[in-house]
Structure 1
Amino acid sequence: MSLELILAAFGGGLFGATIGALQSFIFTGFLVLAGIAVAASGGTVDITGLVAFGPMFGPHVAFGGGVAAAAFAGLKRKNLDNGKDIVTPLNSTKDLSVLMVGGIFGVIGLLLNYLYGTILAIPTDTVALSVFTSGLIARLAFGSLGVFGKLSPVSGASDEIAAAAEPAKKVYLDAKNLAFNILMAFGLGLVFSKVVLDIQNPVLGFGFSAASLILVLIGLKDFPVTHHITLIAGVAAMQTGSIILGAVFAVVSAILCELTGNIFNTYGDTHIDPPAMAIFISTFIVLLF
């Protein structure tokens, strides 16, 4: 790993904080789609690997940096209403320390991915594992409620947190919502598995789902987050050659996202990304097969 790459990751984390974690992730999605288009047209430049998952827009760098900076801005500097706001561009804070945190966590994300992928060679999606670990480090560094949070809604947090279930229902899955997500995941798993097998590129679904989150920014609050579903469908389909198994593993990932979201985020005061958790766990299971 070169010094230039480390410095670039610092810039990428800082950039992710400047524009906001979610916005950086949406750019990742569009660049993945661009990379697929370049590859399909015979291009030799690896846009997906070098840019979308590189030091500029790699989720472990830019998104992770933005998440950590939001936690610091909300909980330590009081520049945001809460530490879970991954939408507000932190350019609004005009706070040098907030951007520095973003840059530092960009480097942390890069080093984590190098550790998991190159040194330890863990058989999973090491970018997603790095996003999860980075979020966990940010919570321990800047949060005050511990890894799993407290059994009461967080004061000053978002409406979603304020409206959380009763304290007795710490790990709570609504049966109707879960059934809906399972059916949605199965359907998306089928169609994206088929397309992935046709074009032989497992990240197509991820690119589509990440880019589609731009609709959340323009006001479609109920638009679904699906990259943990479509990516795992593609990975499983490529590993097994079966769209049925692709859809089954998509369902597994959807359930894991629901479960981990409740465990880590419902009562926490920073953002730990449930889709990232679902992706690295599901990918590990898929690779076992």
Structure 2
Amino acid sequence: MSLELILISFGGGVFGALIGALPAFIFTGFVGLIGVGVVCAGGPPTILNDITFGAFLGPHVAFAGGVAAAAFAANKKKLLESGMDTTIPLNKFQDKSILIVGGIFGVLGHLVNYLYATIITLPTDTVAMTVVTSGIIARLVFGRTGLLGIRNPSRVTAEIAATSEVERHILPTSKTITYDIIMALGLGIVVSYISIITGIAVLGFCVSAASLIFTQMGYPVPATHHVTSIAGLAAFMSGSIYIGALFAVLAAIIFEIVALNFNSNCDSHIDPPAASIFICAFIIMGIF
């Protein structure tokens, strides 16, 4: 822990607020791919460790800062239509307080991750766990819908109804589960194989994160980084593509459950992929 890293994380959070949480995460993916290329060429993992997942572009800093800034811009400043919207570059509002919130949550992300990873040394993906922690804090501080959102459809405000489907159930439908299983098995097998032959567990994650550029452009490309991240980790630690694929399916199912229960009828974003990643990583590290 150093003052320099704290200041850098403030800048990372400001960056996430300036360009938006999702665009910042997309940069995480592309820079991560550069870092993977450097490692494959025999270079050091500096870009991966210190930039992609560090105090600048780490999702716990830049993405989390953008998420908190969006919640603040929507629910406190009334400038953004919905705090659930992670795609809008908040620079459009030219409001310094929004940037400050992003920077503060960037620092918070750095400090919380340091607590989880270095002081407590939790056996999980502490970056993902920090993203969830930051999202929960942002909702409790800036939101009005509570941790689990509004469960009574009659109480859903017009603002929330316009941006979030009212969900009454806590488990995904069989149709959703079936779709997720097929998707996760396909991606899980491929990413597990890549993870084993390259020895780089995060390659699939970086590809998935970068692919969200098409989501930002308006195409119906889903988030898959929870599936590819967990498949890569499980395969890397177990040496089996089948175990990697199995955990990919588990990650997809946990994602749906978290999305239904923590990200429906809400006015800020708590990241379902991050929740799925840290839960599955805890199980994987406990086993292997």
Shorter-chain TM band = over 0.9
Q: Could you tell me whether the CA contact under 8 Å between 1:33 and 1:208 is conserved in 2?
A: yes
Match of 1:147 in 2: 147
Paired residue type of 1:13: G
Give aligned pairs, total.
284
**Distance in 2 separating the partners of 1:149 and 1:45:** 40
2:279 pairs with 263, 278, 281, which one? 281
Match of 2:191 in 1: 192
Q: How does 1:112-131 map to 2 (within 5 A)?
A: 112-131=112-131
Q: Could you tell me whether the CA contact under 8 Å between 1:148 and 1:263 is conserved in 2?
A: yes
Match of 1:40 in 2: 40
Q: CA deviation at 1:160?
A: 4.7
Q: Could you tell me whether the CA contact under 8 Å between 2:160 and 2:265 is conserved in 1?
A: no
Superposed CA deviations along residues 193-232 of structure 1, whole A, max 9, x for unmatched, are 0011000000001000000000112221x21110000010
Paired residue type of 2:104: I
| Structure 2 CA distance for partners of 1:45 and 1:288, relative to 1, 3 Å | closer
Q: CA deviation at 1:159?
A: 4.3
**Distance in 1 separating the partners of 2:46 and 2:267:** 37
Match of 1:178 in 2: 177
**Distance in 1 separating the partners of 2:206 and 2:235:** 16
Q: CA deviation at 1:170?
A: 3.8
Superposed CA deviations along residues 104-131 of structure 1, whole A, max 9, x for unmatched, are 0000000000000000000000000000
Match of 1:49 in 2: 49
Q: How does 1:221-260 map to 2 (within 5 A)?
A: 222-260=220-258
Q: Could you tell me whether the CA contact under 8 Å between 2:126 and 2:278 is conserved in 1?
A: yes
**Distance in 1 separating the partners of 2:145 and 2:163:** 17
**Distance in 1 separating the partners of 2:44 and 2:128:** 26
Match of 1:92 in 2: 92
| Structure 2 CA distance for partners of 1:79 and 1:176, relative to 1, 3 Å | same
Q: Could you tell me whether the CA contact under 8 Å between 1:182 and 1:251 is conserved in 2?
A: yes
Q: CA deviation at 1:54?
A: 1.3
Q: CA deviation at 1:44?
A: 2.6
1:157 pairs with 155, 160, 167, which one? 160
RMSD: 1.1
1:103 aligns with 2:103: yes
Paired residue type of 2:65: G
Residue 182 of structure 2 aligns to a residue whose secondary structure is helix
Superposed CA deviations along residues 63-111 of structure 1, whole A, max 9, x for unmatched, are 0000000000000001101111111000011111110000000000000
**Distance in 2 separating the partners of 1:125 and 1:106:** 18
Q: CA deviation at 1:154?
A: 4.4
| Structure 2 CA distance for partners of 1:141 and 1:188, relative to 1, 3 Å | same
Q: Could you tell me whether the CA contact under 8 Å between 1:81 and 1:157 is conserved in 2?
A: no
Superposed structure 1 runs of 4+ greater than 2 Å apart? 152-155, 157-160
1:62 aligns with 2:62: yes
Paired residue type of 2:195: V
Q: Could you tell me whether the CA contact under 8 Å between 1:10 and 1:103 is conserved in 2?
A: yes
Question: Structure 2: where are the runs of 5+ without partners?
Answer: none
**Distance in 1 separating the partners of 2:157 and 2:201:** 38
TM-score, normalised on structure 1? 0.96
Residue 266 of structure 2 aligns to a residue whose secondary structure is coil
Q: CA deviation at 1:45?
A: 5.4
**Distance in 2 separating the partners of 1:170 and 1:143:** 22
Q: Could you tell me whether the CA contact under 8 Å between 1:82 and 1:157 is conserved in 2?
A: yes
Paired residue type of 1:199: T
Q: Work out the percentage of aligned pairs sharing the same amino acid.
A: 51
Q: CA deviation at 1:157?
A: 3.0
Question: Structure 1: where are the runs of 5+ without partners?
Answer: none
**Distance in 2 separating the partners of 1:67 and 1:278:** 18
Residue 148 of structure 2 aligns to a residue whose secondary structure is coil
